[in-house]
Chains A and B, each alone.
Chain A
Amino acid sequence: MLHRRIYQFLIIYAIGLGLLLALKYGLSLSDYVIPSPAEIVQTCRTYGGPYLLAVLNTLAVAILGHILSICLATLVAVTGRLTAWIGSFIRTAAYNIQAYPIVAVAPIIFILLGDGLQSRLLIAAMICYFPLLLSFIGVFSEPIREIEHFYESTGRMTWRLQVKIRAFENIQKLTTVIVGSATMAMVGTIVAEFIAATAGIGYSIRIALYQSDLAKILVALFWIGVGTSFYLVSLEWVGNALQKRLRSL
């Protein structure tokens, strides 16, 4: 699974790089606009290590933000399923709020919380929270009648049992949504760092942009791709292991 994702990423990265170099040599662009392969390799040697650490820093914040948003989405969805109108209200609110581009809200967060970890974490959590919430509300408010009927009619149904039934029956859907939102958490963190933070790969890209150093950006993109692939594969592995365990025997 891991090698497939990394392999896919490397193909896309190589195609992108190839097109860029084709553009450079096709249009006779200077090294200042698009760096030469030798310069890219040199930049990779110099900045590969620090940028890898920056990506790990970003990944750590993205994972924390992702976990935070999963917990919060679960909590709100489980609460929202209690009454039809609360669920409907949360769903409508989530649809409306997620329509705001996070880039537009991010400056407000930075103004209020500063450019530290809190802001990065909050933006990472926010960007993947609403899609997660909408899916979770859908899962937890949809009755599994053919299973729940027995517990309802014999008076055994509790909210814990109801949540357990619905989560179990939709485990594949939940896993897919969580894996899908992981990329968004990574994107959210990078966007946050790019806007105003003082750490992480987004911050490094901002500096590289100010220096008009495309080679640095290419190195950063390489590590972002590798880091995101690792995270997605880890989530898929956990999801598959969980599903296998639940459905075994």
Chain B
Amino acid sequence: MPLEGRHISYRYPNASGEVFSDLDFRISGPGFHALFGPSGVGKTTLAKMLTGAIKGFDGEIVENGIRRVLYTYNLERLPGWSNVRAHFEEIAPPAGRRRMEELIETFGMAANVDSRFHRLSLGQQNRANLIRYLLQDFDLLIMDESLANVDEITREKIILKIKILFPDRCFLYISHNVAEVAKFCSQVLVLRSPSRSPQLVAAQGCDHREGAESDSGRLERAMLEIVHAA
């Protein structure tokens, strides 16, 4: 399931400069990968290109074996007319009920699912939103700062669980947290400004998994590689 972008160039209508100039990238297959870079460099734009929401760019994106790409971001809200559980039940496929309960438990949402979305804290809202996407059928899920308001311990727990539950799916995690992407992600695509060449540099993350020993030396090297690339 490789995901590849070749010679991508794009300029927003009426914008003076290009967002991307001859951009190349490659994600080798399923796993938890990251898209990293400073604000405004085009991470969300690239994500929208992958979902097909932005068209009309030069170059091509090859999505071999990827049928369904979903994109989620941290500002999304659930409708307020029912509680979170009712919403999950409405959008979860019948076969996914067990998984739904599992995710609710793992994401630490068991005590909150009977509340309405607007009553949840920002971190709980992030988690509720992510759960509903994980209940969908997808091959690639782009998580644009989807856990931005979640505390570090819960975030780690969630990412490790996602890796266990969805080993055959591809995740592209957009985050500004160097330590996090270096620790948990397999490939880290570092996006830079169009004036720099190449505009995207791939770094290797530690791809930390549940039960595995943390190698602080390796993590440090990965973080340095990412910071230097950025």
Contacts and interface: CB of A to CB of B under 8 A. Distances in A.
A154 B77 contact: no
A146 B76 CA distance: 4
Interface in B27-80: 51, 70-73, 75-80
B76 A150 contact: yes
Contacts of A146: 75-77
Given A146-B77, A149-B72, 8 more contacts: A146-B75, A150-B72, A150-B78, A150-B133, A164-B81, A246-B80, A249-B115, A249-B116
Interface of A: 146-147, 149-150, 153-154, 156, 164-165, 168-169, 246-247, 249
A223 B73 CA distance: 56
Q: Name which of B77, B118, B133 has the most chain A CB atoms within 10 A of its CB.
A: B77
B132 interface: yes
Contacts of B115: 249
6 contacts: A147-B76, A147-B77, A150-B133, A156-B91, A168-B81, A246-B80
A160 to B, nearest CB: 13
Contacts of B77: 146-147
Contacts of A156: 91
B83 A249 contact: yes
Contacts of B83: 249
Nearest to B73: A149
Interface residues of B, number: 21
A156 B76 CA distance: 16
B74 to A, nearest CB: 10
B70 A153 contact: yes
Nearest to A247: B80
B114 to A, nearest CB: 9
- The 9 A-B residue pairs whose C-beta atoms are closest, nearest first, are A146-B77, A146-B76, A147-B77, A146-B75, A154-B136, A153-B70, A168-B81, A147-B79, A249-B116
A154 B91 contact: yes
A246 B91 contact: no
Nearest to B71: A153
Nearest to B132: A150
Contacts of B75: 146
B91 A165 contact: no
A150, A154, A249, most chain B CB atoms within 10 A: A150
Contact of A149 (B76, B81, B91, B118): B76
A112 B99 CA distance: 66
Nearest to B117: A147
Contact of A154 (B70, B79, B118): B70
Contacts of A150: 72, 76, 78, 91, 129, 132-133
B79 A165 contact: yes
A53 to B, nearest CB: 42
B147 to A, nearest CB: 17
